[in-house]
Chains A and B, each alone.
Chain A
């Protein structure tokens, strides 16, 4: 374990939603750290709680119906859970920023880019007018938007999806945040644009020293740009590890299944891409034991009855009774 204090520290976080069918625990006791300046992948399939986690960090769980019922989120040692709204607003966009999945709709259609960027700058950096505009142009240039002094006066609908996502990145980084939450930032984009946008995020992260939490289900993106990854399944963290060991030697059977199902150039021709059998359990009717047990080839009686606790070893954590790669 590194002696340096983590930038963000999430401990035993529980988020619950009241639905018509009952109380749903979207996140059930997750703990992880984000270190200064690192890129951490938050991986998992749809509905596993990735986005809820990032919204929880920003204090934006829609309430009602959702709320954080237990646990803590600390940014540089400062507790964020239970922070008054007025204090939280000062953090949003300045210390923690977020990029959303849908660049088409995430910007306000009836205001110019300049107007929206200046709002953020005047809110957090107290710079206005010409000065704010210059700063915004500077940021747009940094994210690789051609002729930013002209583009800044345009409306979002005049820009392409990739350009809009760049504007979002520029806006998110304009107040020098310490942490950037990127919720599937490239999912809605073309593959070529995806690569460019990711490249931009990674490049800026190095330049500005911002830590990034990259929420995605795209393992390829994670492998390329993250140092560490957290794998989530049905509201829990099943494994967290540095990237290379995680991809080379996944320990949780779920991670192993994910890695196996990545399309890749293989030595032998396979007729069918391997998949993980079964489906994700309904969050309303979770199994008593390990949540992955029903789909796991290694599962035994104990897996169905007890929840496995985290085993920490060599900088990695896995929640499994029968981790792969161990006898």
Chain B
């Protein structure tokens, strides 16, 4: 489809900017490798080995080639192949993030519908009040509090505090529950408030009044007249939060729960200046962004007949 073709210059642009920032102006490893007082010959030789002496265009093209072939070489710190690190860690991160993300949005929409339906009523006020509370508490505090409540001997002591020893579905549930609850708690407030605003606005539209005048039941109004019309902002929000959730959400969760996902790998790579891994993660994030944009546009078309893909 033509939409995907327009994604190509976008990917080029994004990778170019991230390349300039992270690789061209990024950390210079020459001195790390050589230690104190290197000779000029040593410096030149190492720079040649690292490819620093090549022109910008050549280095950028090389980066693009790495992206296209998914071959980023070997990690500086562990010596492991970058692609195999990613293959090992990305599924872990997805498994960790996905339940919280899906449930957080689903519950957000459901609570927003309930709140909007009872607008001005005490049910609405309670939901909105709790949402503000959820929004106001820092993610870090929530993680620590949930670890104490669910996983420590002072609390319920039902789940392991840290780690990821997953060999079966029951293991998965054991390890994923507390992080999922924490991420739902944090995202639910934002989601509910946002979705409620969207739904309330849609409820004031003329066509909703028309449906009412033709005898539609309020529940039918909400699910038929309103929900599909509200999908555009809802989809936008969900799609745009995907890249952010995958990167930053998993970063915190993984480091606090000691889970070996891609967020933790990225975090370690930033700390140690492990360029091959950073290059891979940044490039993939850019590509993911562009793809979510494309999927976003396609979904728009699905829910709203007025939008055409051109």
Contacts and interface: CB of A to CB of B under 8 A. Distances in A.
A102 interface: yes
A316 to B, nearest CB: 31
A155 B212 CA distance: 20
B209 A108 contact: no
Contact of B215 (A89, A106, A110, A111): A89
B229 A110 contact: yes
A106 B306 contact: no
Size range of the chain A interface in the assembly? 20 to 34
Contact of A109 (B211, B213, B306): B306
A97 interface: yes
B120 A64 contact: yes
B304 interface: yes
A123 B214 contact: yes
Contacts of A109: 207, 229, 304-306
A124 B214 CA distance: 9
Contact of B213 (A58, A119, A155): A58
A286 interface: no
Nearest to A155: B305
B155 to A, nearest CB: 44
Interface string A71-93: 00000000000000000011111
Nearest to B230: A110
Contacts of A106: 206-207, 209-210
Interface in B177-215: 205-207, 209-215
Contacts of B229: 108-110
Interface in B119-146: 120
B213 A120 contact: no
Main secondary structure, interface of B, reads helix
Contacts of B206: 100, 102, 105-106
Contact of A100 (B210, B217, B303): B210
A157 B213 contact: no
Interface string A255-273: 0000000000000000000
Contact of A92 (B120, B215, B224, B225): B215
Nearest to B306: A157
Given A60-B209, A100-B209, A109-B207, A89 B217 contact: yes
A93 B215 contact: yes
A171 interface: yes
A120 B214 contact: yes
A107 B207 contact: yes
User: Which of A91, A102, A106, A107 has most B Cβ within 10 Å?
Assistant: A106
Nearest to B205: A105
Contacts of B294: none
Given A100-B206, A100-B210, A155-B305, A108 B225 contact: yes
Contact of A123 (B120, B215, B225): B215
Nearest to A92: B215
B214 A110 contact: no
Given A64-B120, A155-B305, A157-B306, A108 B213 contact: no
A210 interface: no
A109 B210 CA distance: 12
A178 B303 CA distance: 36
A178 to B, nearest CB: 14
Interface in A234-252: none
Interface string A109-141: 111000000011001100000000000000000
A110 B224 CA distance: 10
Contacts of A102: 206
Contacts of A119: 211, 214, 216, 224
Interface in B270-309: 303-306
B228 interface: yes
Nearest to A54: B213
A94 interface: yes
Nearest to A86: B217
B210 A107 contact: yes
A98 interface: yes
Contacts of B213: 58, 60, 92-93, 97-98, 100
Nearest to B214: A93
B217 A108 contact: no
A157 B303 CA distance: 14
B299 to A, nearest CB: 13
B120 A171 contact: no
A97 B214 contact: yes
Contacts of B225: 108
Nearest to A172: B214
Contacts of A171: 214
B278 to A, nearest CB: 43
Nearest to A157: B306
Contacts of B224: 111, 119
Interface string B208-246: 011111111100000011001100000000000000000
Contacts of B303: 110
Nearest to A64: B120
Could you say which of B205, B210, B217, B306 has the most chain A C-beta atoms within 10 Å of its C-beta? Answer: B210
- Highest count of chain A CB atoms <10 Å: which of B120, B212, B215: B215
> Which 7 A-B residue pairs are closest in the complex by CB-CB distance?
A93-B214, A92-B215, A93-B215, A105-B206, A108-B207, A98-B213, A155-B305
Given A60-B213, A109-B207, A119-B214, 17 more contacts: A92-B212, A93-B213, A93-B214, A100-B209, A105-B205, A105-B206, A105-B207, A108-B207, A108-B211, A108-B229, A109-B304, A109-B305, A110-B303, A110-B305, A123-B216, A155-B306, A168-B210
8 contacts: A58-B213, A93-B213, A93-B215, A98-B210, A106-B206, A108-B211, A119-B214, A119-B224
